[in-house]
């Protein structure tokens, strides 16, 4: 394949009945240079994809096929539950020259780190080095040159993008613990329900379900180089959305002006990053409500100059920038296409 | 037992881990003349009831017991899934002189009607006559004299109470079809989740899941004596609450003044019925939002005098007036106690 | 202007700070053949449009201008509160050869009908004949030839599209009253808050705020030719979405098969109409949840063959198919462009 | 008045149309030893209180009176907007021997602290010493002996109760900053709407509206004796509820066992404190969802023993334990009544 030529390529999705897979399908169906060839699902074989993802009705006549029926394509997307891609990565690599895996299987470079956070040895540690961590805002050039790209954890993405301006401008005091408070919607937990996701139990919640030890912490440690970091997870009553509120300390002498400069630089360098810091109106700081369906990451901050306490805020749609959106953005980079292709949707107001 | 004496009686609940059973438990724990002896649950044996119903923490140290362990009591409440009570009603009757069954098993007097709506023959048709339909607003005196009282369908209750003033004043034109539109919250579907009740699928819905044929229709036919009646069910994004909007025709010459008289009479006759029909303010008509946790049924109406089209509205909390609240109200009547005992909670504003 | 040539035209929006105006702006900014020249707002002059509509950040640097500053353009959109467009229609017509007015001012053809439903005489009755009712599914050819096109009432649109297959196939018994139950989200009431729209009062509602007499009824009477029709309005806890559940009677002998045929014809004739009638899965009938941000109208039906009672259901996004989406669809028709241009967004799952 | 005698006293509420005033009214109407004499409201004079607080219909025929009409009573409750009580406290004290003020006017003991956080000098600094801070869990004995009791800030209350076990057991390392993340519902902002509280703008939010500097911080500083403390406020889509997630460090050597001991002691000493820390089930940690309408404060914690990072969690209903509930609890103490009188409601499951 020649890069940059806007020819149509073929792609397939392994694991297309979940929420990340469905979102990927929505984006790829509308992608001008992509033809979706196959979508697999163990539990929905033979059903139209729109019977599971009702928004796709009248837009595609694709039906789910069995995983075993998957054929060779230009690019293969994997959207399987955690732990499955690593056991068959060799088979998938035989089907496609390029793979984008949305699961957690190939996000960490270090098999030891993986084992510490996932509680078991990695099944294909020799593959870890071959994958690039799939967040373009951190690894744009490497992704453009890669054949194998991982997905990103949605909570890790909100955390990493909140930290990005501080780390890049080197104004974060890394000797002070970084405390990250994350609020999430219900789609983050996936399409498989459990008792806690039953509407009558899950509606109206403010539920801190994990104070420490969330697995996405490993991606923050790896990508941001901060060691003393914790993610506290609280579920709230929305379907889509992640808000990360990051508490840290800036280096002595850092001013609000320095922060403005750092955040503006992040927005200038990245088409999907916006700075939201208004003095008036309803929408003064980043919030996921206005990002539903879009690939933007909105960043904001507040600084207490008296003690250097910085609060950095990042809002994303967990299924977009935190999963399928970043994956398509990686595809665009890998193919040499305009980075925003098929990711133009700008979110809705009101919602 | 002597009636009207406010001595403490013992009660048990068969099936206490569901939503109706849990609500019943909440009411009975706070009931001044009742001691809850046992609560059964197949799936939670040995757990504290507050581990399933977290609002009960620090209020009771009861643990769930196996159904087989149930012992004799003064009054036995059955809160089992549909179809189970009728297969063992004899056993239960051997344990308690008085039974209040919240399920649909003994609501219909006519085994034929039961079979038509439930699609199978009743397992204990000889018991149907022994039960009184447990809506005090319709059968106060019979309930007070009864040993066996059925529960009520929550949608049927909202429908029947909306129709009550019209039927009682005999101003409903029964030759015109009665069309009932019902909007319901997610708790109505019970504590057992399914894919459709998964928060990400159930949030934000306006979902008409049944246009015709809802089983509660049978209770409207039986209790209101209307034959041509349909219930159309739409799920909306609340946990508790039923709103029935009933469309019918009044007899020629009926005025708004006649309707006012009929509705006020219903409120005067029944402590838990209120008429809501304001000209100003936010809360001009009945709505379930203000009834959460309370046993009130709020009624309202509009009449198009040009054609006799009446819209009668009833709002209730499906777990209270539509289930556990009416059941405790029946208990109070059966025991000769003040009808409102343990049902004084007045709902919350705002919520 | 030559039709069908995909040259860029200039448009402006009078009244761009409300919800319909904002949605229009979102669509037009992304429209490939349109340049938005000006957007007016009395209360936000000088502010960036993205300060009011935060989803537009980084997509446009437009600022709100005063209404008096409006200049000549190819097509002028009016998104003013009801009653304002009719007082200045002459001025607007002097600025642009083509006008699309989203308000209720020019929807009715008959000044008498207008006065009956809006309670006052129309200020420019001579203009009523010049406008075409802007629902392409009803008036595609006339819109394509028109210079002046009205908007549509969102509730009227859901009602009219639910009735469309029945009326077109002439299987609706017009001698029986048509009862329409409509459930709506909060964005329908516009961007101006009131006490009843305060979140603590508006959340969790099932609030029947109008039993009869909603003004959109006039559009159903005019467009569908049914005389005995009522719209009962109930507010529920979503932001976007309208579901119309229409109760009527079919002509004797009409079968479910006839209905299938009628509904499929509607979907075949109209790119934005889909039939949703599944036997399994979560999404068996139309629901607005899956339509947020999209221009689709989903239709479904149930028939009680025993008595001819038909329930026809239509779901739309009130700001899209019920307002801005239909307006842009009209623009596309008026300009000879592909009808779906800038309206490709397919909605989200889950949401 | 003799204490401890369960005679009926008279009370009035100045400012009864807001949410705290309405909740107070709900509690006092049902209080067995209290008669509510008058309720004032400037904007609703002459209206029934149930026209504003629809849950009170059929429970009281009280009408709002003008503030100037207020008469002498045994106990006067003030539920005015911030800043008003301090300007007339002398007048109110002439009307009643005992005053409970729910506003922020008399919460701080130090006029300097008041000025720092409220940005203006206190109008009646000589009264600050006469008031006791109205949180029984901190000042039970003083409240019982007091004539003047202040209200509490809802966010301060969740924060203070989360810190209480750590401070009381003296295991909090006060040299490390305390970072408090608070999530709140919409009722916290009061009954007066603004553009940001408009449902379409306020629904579905995860909105960090204040990173530093919330006024309730002053109450945490005063009551907990921690100096380096910040409250970060995030609005979420519920009506009632506050969840405070408090990040701090325990003193070296502190174990999870020590924490268990400290938290259990808090629950043993206080009837309205519960410890929620389960290993299984849906409700493993405190959450406001199960506390709606109740006066409980649920506490939980997690400790990272590797670094001493403690996360302490407190959930309350902001209108109950965070306002009217604590006020009635204070009344009970002041009168020598059982502390839980009229506060027995246990919350709802599900909701």
Neighboring chains of C (3 or more beta-carbon pairs < 8 A): A, B, D
β pairing state of B206-210 and B229-236 = antiparallel
Which of D190, D200, D201 should one mutate to test binding to chain C, selecting the residue with the greatest count of C CBs within 10 A? D200
* Residue whose entry in the numeric block shows the structure tokens 């009833």: B314
Given CB atoms, is D54 within the 8 Å cutoff of chain B? yes
On chain A, the residues whose CB falls within 8 A of the CB of C22 are 349
pLDDT digits (tens, 9 = 90+) for A20-76: 999 999 999 999 999 999 999 999 999 999 999 999 999 999 999 999 999 999 999
Tokens of C52: 């009011």
CB contact under 8 A, B55 and D349: yes
Cα separation of A246 and A156, whole Å? 12
CA distances from D106 to D17, D47, D330 (A): 21, 30, 15
Given CB atoms, is B193 within the 8 Å cutoff of chain A? yes
pLDDT digits (tens, 9 = 90+) for C272-288: 999 999 999 999 999 99
Of residues D228, D236, D243, nearest to A208 (C-beta): D243
Tokens of B92: 């239960």
Tokens of D198: 């408009």
Q: Using alpha carbons, select from A90, B213, A12, D314 the residue that is nearest to residue C304.
A: B213
* Residue whose entry in the numeric block shows the structure tokens 């509407």: A199
CA distances from D179 to A295, D62, D234 (A): 31, 45, 14
Tokens of A104: 């957690």
On chain D, the residues whose CB falls within 8 A of the CB of C239 are 199-200, 203-204
CB contact under 8 A, C245 and B204: no
How buried is B77 (Cβ within 10 angstroms: 0-12 exposed, 13-18 middle, 19+ buried)?
buried
CA distances from C209 to C20, C118, C236, D190, D291 (A): 22, 18, 11, 24, 30
On chain A, the residues whose CB falls within 8 A of the CB of C54 are 276, 282-283, 290, 349
User: Cis peptide before B104, with omega less than 30 degrees from 0?
Assistant: no
List beta partners, residue C235.
Answer: C184, C207
Q: Closest Cα of chain B to A189: distance in Å?
A: 9
Given CB atoms, is C226 within the 8 Å cutoff of chain B? no
Cα separation of B292 and B315, whole Å? 10
On chain D, the residues whose CB falls within 8 A of the CB of C238 are 203
Cα separation of D243 and D159, whole Å? 9
Long-range contact list for C278-284, CB < 8 A, 24+ apart?
A: C278/A51, C280/A51, C281/A47, C281/A51, C281/A52, C282/A54, C282/B195, C282/B196, C282/B201, C283/A51, C283/A54, C284/B209
Question: CB of C133 within 8 A of CB of C84?
Answer: no
Helix, strand, or coil here: C125? helix
Q: Using alpha carbons, select from A57, A114, C288, A86 the residue that is nearest to residue B237.
A: C288
Nearest residue in chain D measured CA to CA from B21: D349
Question: CB of A313 within 8 A of CB of A244?
Answer: yes
Residue B195: predicted pLDDT: 87
pLDDT digits (tens, 9 = 90+) for C65-117: 999 999 999 999 999 999 999 999 999 999 999 999 999 999 999 999 999 99
Residue D3 binned pLDDT confidence (cut-offs 50, 70, 90)? low
A217-248 burial code (b ≥16 CB/10 A, e <16)? bbbbbbbbebeebbbbbbbbbbbbbbbbbbbb
Cα separation of B207 and B236, whole Å? 7
Given CB atoms, is A187 within the 8 Å cutoff of chain B? yes
Residue B6 binned pLDDT confidence (cut-offs 50, 70, 90)? low
Question: CB of B44 within 8 A of CB of B51?
Answer: yes
pLDDT digits (tens, 9 = 90+) for D36-61: 999 999 999 999 999 999 999 999 99
Helix, strand, or coil here: B187? helix
* DSSP state, residue D181: E
Tokens of A163: 């930290």
Tokens of B62: 């009861």
Neighboring chains of A (3 or more beta-carbon pairs < 8 A): B, C, D
List beta partners, residue A290.
Answer: none
CB contact under 8 A, A349 and C22: yes
Those of residues 309-338 in A touching chain D at CB distance below 8 A are 309, 311, 313, 315
Domain boundaries, chain C: 9-152+321-335, 155-318
Nearest residue in chain A measured CA to CA from C345: A345
Half-sphere exposure in the Cβ direction for C230 (13 Å, CA) = 21
Q: Closest Cα of chain A to D35: distance in Å?
A: 34
Tokens of A200: 């009558």
Q: Cα A148 to the chain's mean position, in Å?
A: 16
Question: CB of D159 within 8 A of CB of D142?
Answer: no
Given CB atoms, is D119 within the 8 Å cutoff of chain B? no
Given CB atoms, is C3 within the 8 Å cutoff of chain D? no
Q: Closest Cα of chain A to C271: distance in Å?
A: 9
Of residues A47, A56, A349, nearest to C55 (C-beta): A349
Half-sphere exposure in the Cβ direction for D260 (13 Å, CA) = 5
Q: Using alpha carbons, select from C203, C191, A315, A179 the residue that is nearest to residue D234.
A: A315
Q: Closest Cα of chain D to A183: distance in Å?
A: 7
Residue B3 binned pLDDT confidence (cut-offs 50, 70, 90)? low
Residue D4: predicted pLDDT: 52
| Interface predicted TM-score of the whole assembly (ipTM), two decimals | 0.96
Question: CB of C266 within 8 A of CB of C164?
Answer: yes
Helix extents (H) in B17-171? 19-29, 49-52, 89-95, 111-118, 136-145, 154-168
Of residues D206, D282, D313, nearest to A201 (C-beta): D282
Q: Using alpha carbons, select from D83, D72, D82, D79 the residue that is nearest to residue D38.
A: D72
On chain D, the residues whose CB falls within 8 A of the CB of A351 are 204
CB contact under 8 A, D238 and A196: no
| pLDDT exceeds 80 at position D6 | no
Mean of the per-residue pLDDT values of chain D? 96
D9-151+321-335 fold: Rossmann fold (3.40.50)
On chain C, the residues whose CB falls within 8 A of the CB of D238 are 203
pLDDT digits (tens, 9 = 90+) for C139-184: 999 999 999 999 999 999 999 999 999 999 999 999 999 999 999 9
pLDDT digits (tens, 9 = 90+) for B59-109: 999 999 999 999 999 999 999 999 999 999 999 999 999 999 999 999 999
* Residue whose entry in the numeric block shows the structure tokens 């349109």: C34
Q: In what order do the strands lie in the sheet with D242-249?
A: D206-210, D229-236, D178-184, D242-249, D309-316, D297-304, D273-275
Residue A65: predicted pLDDT: 98
Check whether domain B9-152+321-335 has CATH 1.10.3720.10, yes or no: no
Residue B256 binned pLDDT confidence (cut-offs 50, 70, 90)? very high
Nearest residue in chain D measured CA to CA from C198: D198
Q: Which residues contact A323 (CB under 8 A, 6 or more apart)?
A: A19, A20, A23, A24, A102, A151, A152, A154
Q: Closest Cα of chain B to D188: distance in Å?
A: 11
CA angle D324–D275–B290, rounded 5-degree value: 40
List beta partners, residue A150.
Answer: A101
Cα separation of C54 and C67, whole Å? 22
On chain C, the residues whose CB falls within 8 A of the CB of B206 are 183, 236, 238, 241, 243, 287-289, 315
Per-residue pLDDT of chain A (351 residues; tens, 9 = 90+): 445 555 799 999 999 999 999 999 999 999 999 999 999 999 999 999 999 999 999 999 999 999 999 999 999 999 999 999 999 999 999 999 999 999 999 999 999 999 999 999 999 999 999 999 999 999 999 999 999 999 999 999 999 999 999 999 999 999 999 999 999 999 999 998 888 999 999 999 999 999 999 999 999 999 999 999 999 999 999 999 999 999 999 999 999 999 999 999 999 999 999 999 999 999 999 999 999 999 999 999 999 999 999 999 999 999 999 999 999 999 999 999 999 999 999 999 999
Helix extents (H) in B214-291? 217-224, 256-269
Residue A4: predicted pLDDT: 52
D155-318 fold: Dihydrodipicolinate Reductase; domain 2 (3.30.360)
Q: Using alpha carbons, select from D171, D164, D292, D179 the residue that is nearest to residue D229.
A: D179
Is-catalytic flag, D330? Answer: no
Cα separation of C113 and C86, whole Å? 16
Cα separation of B21 and B225, whole Å? 30
Cα separation of D315 and D243, whole Å? 5
pLDDT digits (tens, 9 = 90+) for B176-188: 999 999 999 999 9
Tokens of C101: 């007015």
Nearest residue in chain C measured CA to CA from B310: C211
CB contact under 8 A, B51 and D276: no
Cα separation of A53 and A46, whole Å? 14
On chain B, the residues whose CB falls within 8 A of the CB of D53 are 349
Helix, strand, or coil here: D177? coil
How buried is A256 (Cβ within 10 angstroms: 0-12 exposed, 13-18 middle, 19+ buried)?
middle
* DSSP state, residue C6: -
Which of B199, B207, B351 should one mutate to test binding to chain A, selecting the residue with the greatest count of A CBs within 10 A? B199
């Amino acid at each position: 394949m020649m890069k940059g030529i806007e020819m149509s390529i073929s792609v397939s999705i392994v694991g297309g009945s979940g929420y990340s897979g469905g979102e990927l399908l929505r984006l790829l169906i509308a992608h001008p240079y992509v033809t979706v060839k196959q979508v697999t699902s163990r539990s929905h074989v033979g059903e139209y994809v729109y019977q599971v993802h009702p928004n796709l009705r009248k837009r595609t006549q694709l039906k789910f096929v069995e995983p075993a029926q998957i054929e060779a394509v230009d690019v293969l997307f994997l959207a399987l539950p955690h732990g499955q891609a690593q056991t068959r990565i060799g088979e998938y690599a035989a089907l496609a020259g390029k793979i984008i895996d949305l699961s957690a299987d190939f996000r960490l470079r270090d098999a030891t780190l993986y084992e510490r956070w996932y509680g078991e040895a990695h099944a294909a540690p020799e593959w870890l080095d071959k994958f690039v961590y799939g967040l373009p805002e951190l690894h744009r050039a490497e992704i453009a040159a890669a054949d194998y790209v991982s997905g990103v954890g949605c909570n890790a993405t909100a955390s990493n993008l909140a930290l990005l301006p501080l780390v890049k401008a080197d104004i974060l005091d890394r000797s002070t613990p970084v405390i990250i408070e994350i609020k999430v919607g219900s789609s983050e937990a996936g399409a498989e329900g459990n008792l806690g996701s039953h509407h009558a139990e899950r509606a109206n919640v403010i539920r801190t379900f994990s104070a420490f030890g969330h697995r996405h912490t490993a991606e923050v440690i790896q990508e941001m180089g901060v060691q003393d970091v914790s993610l506290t997870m609280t579920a709230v009553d929305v379907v889509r959305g992640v808000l990360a509120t990051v508490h840290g300390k800036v280096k002595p002498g850092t001013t609000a002006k320095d922060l403005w400069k750092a955040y503006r630089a992040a927005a200038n360098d990245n088409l999907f990053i916006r700075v939201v810091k208004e003095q008036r109106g309803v929408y003064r700081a980043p919030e996921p409500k206005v990002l539903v369906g879009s690939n933007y990451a909105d960043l904001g901050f507040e600084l207490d100059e008296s003690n250097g306490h910085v609060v950095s805020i990042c809002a994303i749609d967990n299924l977009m920038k935190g999963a399928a959106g970043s994956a398509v953005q990686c595809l665009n980079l890998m193919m040499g296409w305009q980075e925003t292709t098929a990711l133009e949707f700008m979110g809705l107001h009101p919602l």
